[in-house]
């Protein structure tokens, strides 16, 4: 992206805190971006966990993506609800609109996965406009999170590796990075948008899941063949998940591919930004995942 580009903020999942959204808009504007907000971004639905009616949330998302004046579509927050929009989107119209930046994480995994399948474009897994690390502190955004987001959006130089804190299986792997929130990926099994890590690096993270539930979801993905042909695994944050590493090692090490863990990507602080649908390299000697920056040229 470039300074002066327009980004649209939408709420495909849960309802944002209005004050955090206001502050997040101001901080994005400080990057030199022009920010517009979807007409229904602050709506509430009778189901309190949704930011307005499904049709309204889908319309905001599609209108923003299809608007030629908009270069990026940034999500307010996660929560739940993005998967409910997938059947309501006109994928042909969105495909015709061409590539632009989709930014979000957590529940937005449903969109990352579907956009990769339907549109074939890279998407940016990173902090959202009304989340705590961007807008929760009046003094400013969390510095490492903010710098990582700025680099992912604007920099075209050498990619900066994201470093973890442990290796579960040694080696080196290259491939397109796919994945996101484990719960969302498991929920998409058996749908038109079932994920696949064939020939790819799988990225996984989650929040608030007990180890046995992590086990259950990994087992579901394994039994569905989602990991068939995977080249490597990168594990992000597991906030509020107890100690998930015995389960992660038990379920994933038999894949026989390099595995790095403890990457500060997902939930918690900091939240580093990472392109999905772009090439990445796992290097267990440095316990890192390095992603591409020239994402449009290097997408499949």
Q: Which residues are catalytic?
A: 106, 205, 267
Report residue 246 as tokens. Answer: 């015995």
- Locate all alpha helices (DSSP H) within the chain, ordered by sequence: 18-29, 54-66, 91-96, 109-118, 132-135, 143-154, 182-187, 211-223, 245-252, 295-298
Instruction: Name the nearest CA neighbour of 34 among 61, 77, 74.
Output: 74
DSSP-derived secondary structure letter, 30 = T
Element (H or E) spanning 6, and its range? strand 6-10
CB count in 10 Å sphere of residue 166: 13
Report residue 62 as tokens. Answer: 């599609």
How is 218-261 classified by DSSP, letter by letter?
Answer: HHHHHHTTTTTT--EEEEEEEETS-S-HHHHHHHHGGG-S-EEE
Q: For residue 239, what are the β-bridge partners?
A: 207
Instruction: Name the nearest CA neighbour of 84 among 16, 12, 169, 1.
Output: 12
Instruction: Give the Cα separation of 123 and 36 in Å (integer).
Output: 20
Instruction: Give the Cα separation of 57 and 61 in Å (integer).
Output: 6
């Amino acid at each position: 992206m470039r300074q002066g580009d327009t980004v649209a903020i939408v709420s495909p999942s849960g309802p944002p805190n209005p004050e955090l959204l206001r502050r997040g808009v101001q901080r994005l504007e400080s990057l030199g971006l022009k920010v517009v907000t979807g007409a229904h971004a602050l709506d509430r639905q009778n189901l309190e966990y949704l930011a307005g009616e499904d049709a309204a949330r889908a319309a905001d998302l599609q209108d923003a993506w299809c608007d030629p004046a908009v270069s990026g579509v940034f999500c307010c927050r996660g929560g739940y609800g993005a998967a409910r929009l997938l059947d309501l989107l006109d994928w042909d119209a969105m495909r015709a609109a061409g590539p632009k930046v989709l930014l979000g994480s957590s529940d937005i995994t449903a969109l990352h996965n579907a956009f990769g399948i339907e549109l074939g474009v890279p998407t940016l897994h990173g902090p959202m406009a009304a989340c705590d690390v961007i807008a929760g502190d009046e003094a400013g955004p969390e510095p490492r999170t903010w710098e990582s987001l700025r680099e992912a959006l604007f920099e075209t130089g050498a990619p900066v590796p994201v470093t973890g804190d442990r290796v579960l299986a040694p080696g080196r792997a290259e491939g397109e990075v796919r994945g996101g929130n484990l719960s969302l990926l498991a929920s998409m099994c058996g749908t038109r948008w079932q994920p696949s890590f064939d020939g790819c690096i799988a990225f996984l993270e989650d929040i608030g899941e007990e180890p046995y539930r992590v086990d259950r979801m990994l087992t579901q993905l394994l039994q569905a063949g989602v990991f068939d042909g995977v080249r490597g695994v990168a594990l992000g944050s597991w906030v509020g998940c107890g100690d998930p590493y015995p389960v992660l090692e038990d379920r994933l090490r038999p894949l026989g591919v390099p595995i790095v863990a403890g990457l500060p990507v997902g939930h918690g602080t900091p939240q580093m930004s990472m392109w999905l649908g772009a090439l990445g390299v796992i290097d267990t000697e440095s316990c890192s995942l390095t992603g591409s920056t020239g994402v449009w040229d290097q997408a499949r």
